[in-house]
Amino acid sequence: MFGEYELKTRFIKVWDKKIHLTEETEEIIVYRRDDVKRIIKKADRLKILPSPAVGYGVKLLMVRLNEPIAIPPKDAISGYIETPIEVDVKVGNLTIDHFLLGKEKYALYGTVDVGVVTRYHKSEFYIKEPDSIGIAKVIVSNPSKEWKMLERIVFPIKDSVMFYTENKAYYPLLIVTLKTTAPEINNTGKPPKEGLTPTRETLSLPNFLMRW
């Protein structure tokens, strides 16, 4: 599914989507996906890469946990959440197609007058990595002297690197710090485990403070 493909006649299934490549001549490939059609001059390989779920241009992804997590003072817990992803199709550095996987949901984060629209998803908090197409590993740290509860995770995704294997996509490692009543989220830009391929240069994003 994710990775590089030779430009030749073939079908490529990307979850619930199907890409069809047809060799029209020795030099020309026709790319089709649903009602999308592209003409490609053979010169490189086709790349199918995971992309952050920015949808209509949002900067944040909000994942509400099905069951809130309670963390003791001076302690931490690590686990995984399921996340929505999107897909970039590229030749060289040019994106020739971009599409969503699954249903697209949005929610308001904050108040009506000063809030922002975010991509929205609900997930379990898994202790072991789930068998899902989109995943984020999360380390939740509570350096305070009091018990803390975490009900949702809101983190920046615009311009975020992604990591992948053939069948899974990963957001960078997320670190949630519960110093005060406002959790601080760090999209580290680092792979959540070894053996993953980055979609581009690995850079962290500015920390995000969950004020609401």
- Per-residue pLDDT, 65: 98
- Per-residue pLDDT, 169: 98
- Per-residue pLDDT, 139: 98
Per-residue pLDDT tens, the chain, 212 aa: give them. Answer: 999 999 999 999 999 899 999 999 999 999 999 999 999 999 889 999 999 999 989 999 999 999 999 999 999 999 999 999 999 999 999 999 999 998 899 999 988 888 999 999 999 999 999 999 999 999 999 999 999 999 999 999 999 999 999 999 999 999 999 998 899 999 999 999 999 999 999 989 999 999 88
Question: Bridge partners of 177?
Answer: 141, 184
- Per-residue pLDDT, 194: 96
- Per-residue pLDDT, 113: 85
- Per-residue pLDDT, 162: 98
- Per-residue pLDDT, 180: 87
- Of residues 203, 192, 202, 200, the one with CA closest to residue 90: 200
Model's pTM, two decimal places?
A: 0.94
